[in-house]
Structure formats: C-alpha cells, structure tokens
Amino acid sequence: MSPHPQPAPEPVIQYIASCKLPTPWGEFVMHGFEEESGQEHVALTLGEVGDGLPVLARLHSECLTGDALFSLRCDCGFQLEAAMEAISKAGRGALLYLRQEGRGIGLINKIRAYKLQDGGADTVEANERLGFPADMRDFRIARHMLAHLGIGSVKVMTNNPRKLATLEAAGIAVVERVPLQVGRNPYNDRYLDTKAAKLGHMLLK
C-alpha cells in the first residue's frame, strides 16, 4: 500500500442550462451544472464576465439553515447577501453556489453536529466526533464552472485561505482576496473564533 493517500479523482461536471434570475440586487443569469453523481450546482453572473478581465467572485457553499432559514449560528446567510450586493454594486461578477452543505457532511449530519455543539463541542470537534474531517468540501468543481463561464482570473470574496489555495492549484489566477466579514453576533461568536483558530480563516474580532 502506498504510504501517501491518493488524491480524490477530479470531479466531472457538466453545464446544463441558463436562465434569468431577478433578485433584490438586480437581474442575474443563473447557470445550472450537474456532477456525474447527480449533485447539482449553480453559478450566478452579472454583467460581462468572459472578457478576460479579473472577475469579482464568491464561492459559496450551500447552507440551508443560514441561507434560507435565517440562522444566526453561522455567518453564511449574511455572506451570501453581502456577496450579491457587492457584485451588484460592481456591476459585474460571479457567485458559485456549491451544494456542499455542512462543510461537505450533508444536512442531516449537520443537524447532528449542531446537537453536539448544543452540548459544548465546537464546530470542528462536532464534525470529528461524527467521524468526519473538519472540512470535506471539494472546491475543484469551481474550476470547471469558471472555465465554462470564460473566467480565468478572480478577485475572491472569502476569509478562507483554503479556497484561495484550491483555486490557484486548479490553475485559476487569484489576483486579490476581498474580505467578507459580516454577521457576527452572540450566537455565532464562538463558531467564528473556532474557524479562525482551527481552520485558519482570516477574521478580525
């Protein structure tokens, strides 16, 4: 057996269709993609993004509780809205909505992790007690989505250095990191501190 674990195979993702998506921040174009596994992802674009110039972009992992149910346990919903507003103000940009709930463990396991957090575990400890790594997301799928959109260089709205490293390793030029620090509140204060301390997120108190 090899002493080094083999990397996961490159994900295969196919473009399906596009449509207009009017939102409070303007009319975006929504592009649908599907992996071989059947997992679906979307990208929202505003303005001309395939002109060769760096594009303001957000890689946003699905968070049903934060994005749709207004949870204060995380900052995800706040980041989603702030990113769309920033793209709208810029008049040009892309938001990749990746279906990787709970940092990749899925919605039901995320609920189990939240139960452990209710008992005192932090967000990393909860995932590990369930037998999962702290973060299981695979940002390589963004490479194929960006390539389809004609985007070769990005200004990424993120606090997560892993996203930057993954994009660069996939051949996407990251010309700038744009901080996206919003939504801190008493319910997510420990969560954000843990992401900074254990996952390396670049956050200010």
Of residues 137, 138, 162, 190, which has the active-site annotation? 137
Q: Is 19 annotated as a binding residue?
A: no
Q: Is 61 annotated as a binding residue?
A: yes
Q: What is the DSSP letter of 159?
A: S
Q: Is 102 annotated as a binding residue?
A: yes
Active site residue 135: yes
Q: Is 158 annotated as a binding residue?
A: yes
Q: Is 59 annotated as a binding residue?
A: yes
Of residues 135, 143, 162, 189, which has the active-site annotation? 135
Q: Which residues of 193-205 are buried (b: 16+ CB within 10 A; e: fewer)?
A: bbbeeebebebee
Alpha helix (H) residue ranges in the chain: 76-90, 107-118, 123-129, 141-148, 161-169, 189-199
Q: Is 76 annotated as a binding residue?
A: yes
Q: Is 60 annotated as a binding residue?
A: yes
Q: Is 101 annotated as a binding residue?
A: yes
- Cβ atoms within 10 Å, residue 70: 9
Q: Which residues of 19-51 are buried (b: 16+ CB within 10 A; e: fewer)?
A: eeeeeebeebbbbebebeeeeebbbbbbbebee
Question: Which residues participate in the annotated binding site for GTP?
Answer: 58-62, 79, 101-103, 123, 158, 163
Question: Which residues participate in the annotated binding site for Zn(2+)?
Answer: 63, 74, 76
**Active-site residue list:** 135, 137
